[in-house]
């Protein structure tokens, strides 16, 4: 490792850390949305009047799928972002290694 490589290594480490923080934040949002959905399913709805039951049904339909933050369908802010980042880093490392050996 040379002195010229140190800034690049630092950049990679910071990028990995930021990606980890962002992906864990998105994963936490999805988990909390799922917990809200499960809690809403356990309400004692049979004691409610008709309009409240209809509101609960609408709420359950709207919260069935958790909220996920995406970037034009390319990257979803959850742990799959970490996998995509790892694959991209692996591909770059393989390319650099193959160009250095030739």
Average pLDDT over every residue of 10-29 = 89
pLDDT tens column, 31-85:
999 999 999 999 998 889 999 999 999 999 999 988 888 878 777 888 888 888 8
Residue 98 within a domain:
no
* pLDDT for the residue numbered 102: 63
* pLDDT for the residue numbered 14: 92
Residue 29 within a domain:
yes
Residue 35 within a domain:
yes
User: Structurally, how many domains does the chain consist of?
Assistant: 1
Residue 8 within a domain:
no
* pLDDT for the residue numbered 28: 93
**Owning domain of residue 30:** 17-89
* pLDDT for the residue numbered 82: 85
Ramachandran region, residue 2 (left: φ > 0; alpha: ψ -120 to 50; beta: rest): beta
Residue 1 within a domain:
no
Residue 100 within a domain:
no
Cα distance between residue 85 and residue 27, in whole Å: 16
* Most distant CA atoms of the chain, gap in Å: 75
Residues ≥6 apart with Cβ < 8 Å to 42: none
């Amino acid at each position: 490792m040379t002195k010229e490589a140190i800034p690049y290594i630092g950049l990679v480490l910071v990028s990995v850390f930021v990606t980890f923080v962002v992906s864990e934040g998105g994963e936490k949002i999805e988990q909390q949305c799922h917990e809200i959905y499960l809690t809403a399913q356990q309400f004692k709805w049979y004691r409610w009047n008709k309009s409240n039951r209809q509101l609960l049904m609408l709420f359950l339909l709207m919260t069935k799928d958790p909220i996920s933050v995406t970037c034009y369908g390319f990257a979803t802010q959850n742990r799959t972002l970490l996998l995509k980042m790892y694959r991209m880093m692996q591909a770059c490392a393989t390319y650099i290694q193959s160009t250095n050996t030739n």
